[in-house]
Structure 1
Amino acid sequence: MLFNLSLRIKLPLLGAALILVTALALSTSFLYQTWEAVRRDTFKNLNDLGQTMSRALFPALLHDDIWRAYETVSLPFKDSESAQAESLIVLDAKRRVFASSHPEKHPVLSELASLGADFATLDRDIAAHPEDQILTVERDSATHLFIVIPIESDTIRLGSLIVSYDNAWIRQRFIEFIERAAWITLLILAVLLPINWYWGRRMVAPLQEVTDRLSQISGGEPPPLDPKLYPYNDEVGALYLAYGQLVEEMKEKIVLKREVVKHERMAAVGRLTASIAHEINNPLGGLLNAVSTLKRYGSADPLNQKTISLLERGLTQIKETVAALLVEAKITSRQLTPHDLEDVRVLVSPGAHAQNTRLLWKTALSAAVPLPSTPIRQLLINLTLNAIQAAGNDGQVEVNLHAGETELQIVVENDGEGLSPAVRERLFEPFAQVSEHGNGLGLWVCYQIVTQLDGSIRAESAGPLTRFVVTLPLSESSER
């Protein structure tokens, strides 16, 4: 059906139909008015001609001068090839032909009724019509139009003048008007229809763009629209603006959803690892005590001592890993001071010097802030050492710390290799190793610390530059 077609087709078609209907209505009205004007002008011209001729014919009839009457009625047909009347017939008082512009068709002294069916009907109309009035005879079935004008003076009527007109001439003239109107209409349509088709598709194209993008919403984040495609402030422009707002809101919701899923996953992993670590800690402590006792009181055999030392180092490594999984920020600790930051700088500097990494330390902490110093120190050490390892030889690490009125911001960036989107997606999960160094717990510990302090941490990577941004709120509740 027409109404189920695409607007790209339907709108131009409806516009074309409207143009055609309008053109047809205007043409019909114009032709009707033209037809009426042609008939009106024809009647007026014939009537004026007849009255002029009737006054000139009175002396000829008065003196019974047939030749003079013939010359008078023949005069209009001599100088013009487009005479309005077909013929002029002069009748005497007995309705016989006295003179005619075409005597071969209308012989002198012929009875009017004998000239043909139309003239026979006209003869009866003249007989029934008042003698002193002009008679106009027009019938749809007749081939001729007649105007009968009395030839009289001072109420003395000598005869009548019949102005005969062929209806085919009116039709021919009207057909000429129709042809001209048709060509003009076709010319107008040839101009308007392509314009209508162009503007119809031009108006629908922006709507099609919106429709195509809305259909992609179910697949994820909808693609944005180029505002240059429709830079106007009408209803379609408002639709573009609303679509842009929808895209921005969906982006925010998608990001929020990812963060919620990520936080839930991290919380679940944290609870699982913490419970496992607690279960491991008890037997692990017993094993270390047993190894220590065996090392002190056992056999002094070098092979036994070597084996015991190997066991002790392995169990110690397990203990350190478990300790990392049991990180707690909510511990009793003094507030963070500028001395803590200086201690961290001293602790991480040897690692930077060892691989010739340039360390830029920019901290703007002039007084203590209400944050626990121990987890913040651990957080800052982990982020800085990771950055130094990522920067590599001859790299650069920059640490910025700024305390505002409501929050503390820590920014640690390096110019080593960038992080891929896949790595950033699971960056803060336990054992998600970014490099070949470490066990993948450092960033997870940082995430746990930040989360327990009601802050946020994010990683940004553009080219070789990687940046970690930590934001921690400053409040009385932050003081542990």
Structure 2
Amino acid sequence: MRLALLRSLPLAVRVPLVVAGLMVAVSLVIGQVVLHRLARDQERHVADLAAAYLDGVSTAVLPAAIRRDVWEAYDALDRARARYQGLAIVFAVVTEPSGHVLAASDPRLFPVGSLLPEALLDRYGPDGRLAIDEAAALAFLARELREGAVPVGRILVELDIGALIAERRAVRWTLVAVNAGLTFLLAGLGVMLVRRMLGPVAILRAHVAAGAEGPIRPLDEALIARQPAEFAALFRAFNRTAQAVAEREAMAARLAAEEKYALLGKLASAMAHEVNNPLGGLFTAVDTLARHGADPAVRARSIGFLRRGLADIRDVVRAGLVTSKGRIGDGPLTRTDLDDLRHLVRHEIERRGLSLMWRNELASGVALDRTMVRQIALNLLLNACAASPPGGTVRLEARVAAGAFALTVRDDGPGLPDAA
């Protein structure tokens, strides 16, 4: 009868009831409350004893602290330690307002006039509040010495609370042993009950896992009808998700086909841009050959320029075709490679009425990709021409400094607006 009543409850009620029953059975909450109460009582007991100790020490040490009498302060600490044998005092230190040690129960550890380590001071809480380091089994308590409203020093005490920590650990292990026995006893019953209640989850998990290897299959409606109301709603939501995923996959396939053509267009546009840059210079070289081809020097220079420009175009085309055979255009960058760019931009310079200042300080080859550097420099020069007003000047400077190649292109344009 009780099992039938439990089955009639919604799953959102059944699972918390099972979890709550297991938690009550193993008494974890009760164990934590007991440990917390024990720790609080122990800390209050230590705090009361330490406060009584500090009350007595403060009264005895205050006159010595006012007079800065080291021996009287030490004697007061020594007498107080013998009087309060119920406290396991590791050390007690009296400091001046400046933080220097006036007296200590262990003068060899804390010499008179020395400063206490910052790591030690950080372990003390505010005056009058007990600070406990359970891992080290130590407690720390501080009290400020005042004459009226005037601070005259401070008392720092470190206590050994190993016996209290040992008692706390013994109680903890007793609770752990009892709770562990109850947990193992009831775990089997809990697993069987939860597994029985969460059987529909296994069905849903199997369908989700099958979706990793192929299309997600919706659940059969007859199976959904046999499930509790909560799982029936979940299964129907899964079917709606499966249908939405199938629709998105079909749409993604269509978008992928469209994106392929868009990428091909971008690639063609980029290659056209990179090929078009040196074409202006090549046409200039052809015009030079047409007008001054009879001059052997001009002819040789123009033909060499044409060869290098065509080689750059060839490298750009190869870069679009080859993706796994290394970089294209590797080779040392020479002075001539950069000087050729003057011919490439001369037409644009003259068309816009600009002047060109050229400073190429390369004395020998530089181990850089010559094609890439030439393309970068050419793009910068063309951008500088477009940005310069009529009558402006475009400047190029190339040099090697501190083992690095530096290329600088300047123009007389207004520059980017602040918003950009």
Category of TM-score, reference length = shorter chain: 0.3 to 0.5
Query: So what's the TM-score if we normalise by structure 2?
Result: 0.32
Query: Which protein shows a greater Rg?
Result: 1
Query: So what's the TM-score if we normalise by structure 1?
Result: 0.29
